A and B are shown apart, each in its own frame.
Chain A
């Protein structure tokens, strides 16, 4: 059975304090690893897709990386507006299903 585990469940940072969120996966034949950001009362907002080990993607203060067993979302010098739940999801590509992790609730204090 495919599994995606995110850690930590919650993370509090001070503004400017860089850190990383982890997403470990057990998915046979991974075809895509996706990162989303979700604000309260909103739908998940797509951030990145990673397709193969060693791949990296960047957007503003966020950088996503992928290995054969896990993905990291690095947040550099976060700001309060980066506060959100970050979701990781994996796809086999053999069907349309995504296996989601439970998310990491990030709070950045000013």
Chain B
């Protein structure tokens, strides 16, 4: 069982919908991450929060909006997505920069 919990596991949405992905960790980690992963590719970093503040935004389109309500929670708000945004969205957490990142099992997102 993973210690990083992501909901929902699957999400199908239209291009005009608004939805949110949620991530929770109770390991006391101070950094949390969002990744996008396409089939047969490694994860691609999207955002990093460190001590609840946005630390890295990898030039992600504004239709993806991250939020970190507290040190245990991370959200990714989705609006007006494109079919090419269909992917596995992974959340991860780590104690600090050089410590291993621990991943959740992801949300499989499909855009119709």
Which A positions have Cβ atoms within 8 angstroms of B? 31-32, 34, 36, 41-46, 49, 51, 87, 89, 91, 93-98, 100-103
Point out the residues of chain B lying under 8 angstroms from A93, CB to CB.
97-98
| Inter-subunit contact A100/B100 (CB<8 Å) | no
Q: List 25 A-B contacts (CB under 8 A).
A: A31-B97, A32-B100, A34-B100, A41-B105, A41-B106, A41-B108, A42-B105, A43-B6, A43-B105, A44-B43, A44-B103, A45-B103, A46-B102, A46-B103, A87-B42, A91-B98, A93-B97, A96-B31, A96-B50, A96-B56, A96-B97, A97-B48, A98-B101, A100-B42, A103-B42
The reply to whether the CB of B55 lies closer than 8 angstroms to some CB of chain A is yes
Q: Which of chain B's residues 82-104 have a Cβ closer than 8 Å to chain A?
A: 88, 90, 92, 94, 97-104
> Chain A's interface: helix, strand, loop or mixed, by majority?
loop
B residues adjacent to A (C-beta < 8 A): 2, 4, 6, 31, 33, 41-43, 45, 48, 50, 55-56, 88, 90, 92, 94, 97-106, 108
Q: Is the CB of A95 within 8 A of B103?
A: no
| Complex-state Cα separation, A89 to B31, whole angstroms | 17
A43 touches B101 (CB 8 A): no
- Distance, CA A103 to CA B43, complexed state (A): 10
B101 to chain A, nearest CB (A): 7
Distance, CA A93 to CA B94, complexed state (A): 12
For the complex, give the distance between the alpha carbons of A101 and B76 in Å.
25
Contacts of B31 in A (CB 8 A): 96
